[in-house]
Amino acid sequence: MVAPAAGRLVRVTAREGRCRLLALDATDVVAEIRRRQGTDPVATAAVGRVALSALLLGALLKENEQLVTLRVRGSGPLGTLIATATPTGEVRALVGNPRPDIEQVADNGKLNVGAAVGLPGTLTVTRDLAMGEPYVSMVELQSGEIGEDLAYYFVLSEQAPSAVGIGVFVDADGEVRAAGGYLAQLMPGADEADGARLERAIRELPSPTEMLLSGAGPGEILRRIADGVDLSVREERPVRFHCPCGPDRAERALMLLGSEEMRAVREVPGVPGAELTCGFCGQVYRIEPDHLDRLIEEAHE
């Protein structure tokens, strides 16, 4: 199931290639995820941050056939959060518990994402490179706030000093008003002066959602991070919600159950055929009885 392109990501380099910077506005994308997942505010913020992180990581992949998956598994009531993204800016995401029993707002007045995710926990990044075995890396969650955890992942797993800012602003009615962020990385050849200037610029930045709400797009966010240094635009692309599910995938998922399990489904009184619902987009796929019988025979052979 596909939603129209609804956001924008910009990737640039600065300081003669010694800094890599990305920024995105994915407000409508996160709003679409919220609609499909039926999340309350704290779950919206959490799953939105995971989706934003996946989009930033996906933009670093080199081939269009590649895929990155983020899995955040904490000890809090949200359960597991998952997002997958492609280099072409497509993302989908889900949350184990879309309406957790937890105080929505923390003592600092912000949405209680860290507690909802819960520590201890892990952040797992899987890169499906389309050829060979996927590359999997796991780190311990540092705060459950997602952005800090992603920055820790970059330092520990990729030895890339990084600053990550991601945010989702949800209003009193639960609507997503702003969602976006940035990734700033020092590349090989960067020196202490590059790091100090980048650190100072980021320290003085408002939050990503503040900048988006004030009308600043990805390009303006990047100019603020670059702090007056000329930027070389490498890429600008739309981002959108996209779920690649379909009838064929639904059938393959059903076949994985095996003939005995499918036969048990077939024999449930009053239930004709089988029904599968995609956890990411909510699309329902119905397998008619005759078709299900054929699948049972194929699985039995």
CATH code, domain carrying 229:
3.55.30.10
pLDDT of residue 63: 86
Contact 125, 141 (CB under 8 A): no
Q: Are residues 54 and 200 in the same domain?
A: yes
pLDDT of residue 298: 83
List the domain range (segments joined by +) for residue 220: 7-241
CATH code, domain carrying 252:
3.90.1280.10
Bond preceding residue 188 cis, omega within 30 of 0: no
Assigned token pair, 211: 């900048």
> Using CA of residue 113, residue 180, residue 34, residue 67, what is the dihedral sign?
negative
Mean pLDDT per 10-residue segment, the chain (301 residues): 68 89 98 97 98 97 92 98 97 98 91 97 92 89 97 90 95 96 92 89 95 96 88 91 93 84 80 86 90 82 59
Task: Note the pTM of the prediction, 2 decimals.
Answer: 0.92
Q: Are residues 64 and 184 in the same domain?
A: yes
pLDDT of residue 301: 59
Q: Are residues 186 and 278 in the same domain?
A: no
Last residue of a domain, one of 207, 226, 241: 241
Q: Are residues 175 and 49 in the same domain?
A: yes
Count the domains in the chain. 2
The rounded distance, in Å, linking the Cα atoms of 119 and 24 is 28
Cβ contacts of 58 within 8 Å, gap of 6 or more: 67, 68, 85, 86, 87, 89, 91
Q: Answer yes or no: is 118 within a domain.
A: yes
- Total H helices, total E strands in the chain: 10, 12
Q: Are residues 232 and 281 in the same domain?
A: no
Cβ contacts of 254 within 8 Å, gap of 6 or more: 262, 274, 276, 287, 292, 295
